[in-house]
Structure 1
């Protein structure tokens, strides 16, 4: 099998893992709060990535960059994950998967604020995606009866996407300077420092003995599948394929999430959900394509 085909296969597996996480994490949230779940994920990731970084990289970080890494962790690990898991416990997996696609739209909005200018294609994409997000949050998608507090949950997941967009902006200069394993080790380590003093006691309150097999599987899936395996698959794909090709697979996640919801939970869709999903997907795609056109124009000049 050619490496290119294998890379595409890995990206499909990665997308399926992310899609499954919306349903699986929703099940785990019944026994573990978003705060403790985020803390467990940070501890596991810090140990795993720290070990790999120590073995393969052993890279030192400048003191002035540690502060920026701490801020990156605040937005990319702590705030983003707490809002995501908290929102997922209140909304539906399909809604959550679609709203996470608003991260590129938030990036463009922040770029407008910072630079004061934007390409027409990106602006149109942001507007289309925003309309889709508003329709998804407040529209009648046909899934409201399956959610505890869908409006609040949708807002929390959307805010999580915004927080993660801030993280992507802040971490970019660091990625040009340090190995990804170094970045991941430090952001998750700082995440532990943020969460442990406040919610560490919550780990002792978890009724571990009440966990059935499905909950243990869900927890293992979150820690191993989403935190570790997806990173390895994505890293291999980036070595073989262009980053723009890799990034397009994010748009397959909502489709897989919807299919998983239909088969496992019997979720049903509506015209409102379909329209909202199409608007968000098309808006994000338009932003991405406009960005690539601009890159090609810059390279040609």
Structure 2
């Protein structure tokens, strides 16, 4: 029973991370429609918030009830994580490069492991550390960070990039805390509600009517809000409720693999040998981070 639940948890995390990996498809189409990066993030958050509120309201309105004293958890997932890490991530892209910004973002699992140790007492095992090293090396190879030239480096960019990883980690930490009391649907709904409250008035979004005149644009906005956002976060949050935060965050690093493979399939990108090795590193890390739980589960059978 334990083994089945463990596998199901990682399945949810993998599927959620895989959906995060398809976000490029929607961003590319909206960028072609002259939406800025900040506008796209705002549309993503607001559309997800609206869909989740309507869905949960129809499904079970009781899930929308929260204690005001618990708002800090949703401020953490929505503002400290979603809003902050998106700002830091896009700033890092401008200061350094997309590939380096992605790697800095994926320092998130390291922060999750450290913070989970502090707040939840989750053990910092050798397997976790080994999986983390494999993950970082794998992402470096998959995203093709090297060679790094001097003009691609900026201390401010590196610092903000690490900040994006820290903000990315906050979702797993605050989300894990909120899940001790609330349903995953409640957690993600209020995550995007709080994020929307901040982003709408502060993003400076100025969308011309003609940008919203296309049916295709609306389909892209709805697709962006649903697949790599509402559904992806729901699946990841369900998985997070069943396994340790550190393990879930490491398993979620399959996202850049999916994005890279999508680039090969959709945009005819060519995989290099280093990228293939990097993918194997990440997949090895994902297997490694699950291994201990499986051994314990097997021992419980006897």
Range into which the TM-score falls when normalised by the shorter chain: 0.5 to 0.7
**CA–CA distance in structure 2, aligned partners of residues 262 and 10 of structure 1:** 24
Distance 1:108 1:287, change over 3 A: farther
Task: Select which of 181, 206, 214 maps to 1:177.
Answer: 181
Per-residue displacement from partner, 1:133-170 (whole Å, max 9, x unpaired)? 455574149xx9xxxx7999998777544422222112
| TM-score (normalizing by structure 2) | 0.68
Would you say 1:28 and 2:30 are equivalent positions? yes
The offset of 1:175, in angstroms, is 1.0
Secondary structure at 1:168 match in 2: helix
In the comparison of the two structures, how many residue pairs are matched? Answer: 277
Q: What residue is the counterpart of 1:206 in the other structure?
A: 207
Unaligned runs of 5+ in 1: 1-6
Q: What residue is the counterpart of 2:6 in the other structure?
A: none
Would you say 1:104 and 2:109 are equivalent positions? yes
Distance 1:127 1:259, change over 3 A: closer
Contact 2:135-2:282 within 8 A present in 1 as well: yes
The offset of 1:25, in angstroms, is 1.7
**CA–CA distance in structure 2, aligned partners of residues 11 and 71 of structure 1:** 20
Contact 2:91-2:160 within 8 A present in 1 as well: yes
The offset of 1:77, in angstroms, is 1.8
The offset of 1:122, in angstroms, is 1.5
Task: Select which of 47, 51, 54 maps to 1:48.
Answer: 51
**CA–CA distance in structure 2, aligned partners of residues 276 and 158 of structure 1:** 21
Q: What residue is the counterpart of 1:278 in the other structure?
A: 280
Distance 1:281 1:224, change over 3 A: same
Task: Select which of 130, 139, 147 maps to 2:136.
Answer: 130
**CA–CA distance in structure 2, aligned partners of residues 8 and 122 of structure 1:** 15
After TM superposition, list the pairs within 5 Å mapping 1:94-243 onto structure 2: 96=102, 103-111=108-116, 118-133=124-139, 136=143, 138-140=145-147, 159-199=163-203, 202-203=204-205, 205-209=206-210, 215-230=217-232, 234=235
Contact 2:104-2:158 within 8 A present in 1 as well: yes
**CA–CA distance in structure 1, aligned partners of residues 229 and 114 of structure 2:** 28
Q: What residue is the counterpart of 1:67 in the other structure?
A: 72
Distance 1:157 1:265, change over 3 A: farther
Q: What residue is the counterpart of 1:289 in the other structure?
A: 291
**CA–CA distance in structure 2, aligned partners of residues 289 and 164 of structure 1:** 25
Q: What residue is the counterpart of 2:3 in the other structure?
A: none
The offset of 1:52, in angstroms, is 2.9
Secondary structure at 1:71 match in 2: helix
Contact 2:46-2:192 within 8 A present in 1 as well: yes
**CA–CA distance in structure 2, aligned partners of residues 224 and 120 of structure 1:** 37
Distance 1:186 1:14, change over 3 A: closer
Contact 1:35-1:195 within 8 A present in 2 as well: no
The offset of 1:223, in angstroms, is 1.8
* RMSD over equivalenced CA pairs, Å: 4.6
Contact 2:75-2:191 within 8 A present in 1 as well: yes
| TM-score (normalizing by structure 1) | 0.68
Distance 1:122 1:85, change over 3 A: same
Contact 1:174-1:183 within 8 A present in 2 as well: yes
**CA–CA distance in structure 2, aligned partners of residues 282 and 54 of structure 1:** 41
Q: What residue is the counterpart of 2:5 in the other structure?
A: none
**CA–CA distance in structure 2, aligned partners of residues 206 and 162 of structure 1:** 30
Distance 1:255 1:69, change over 3 A: closer
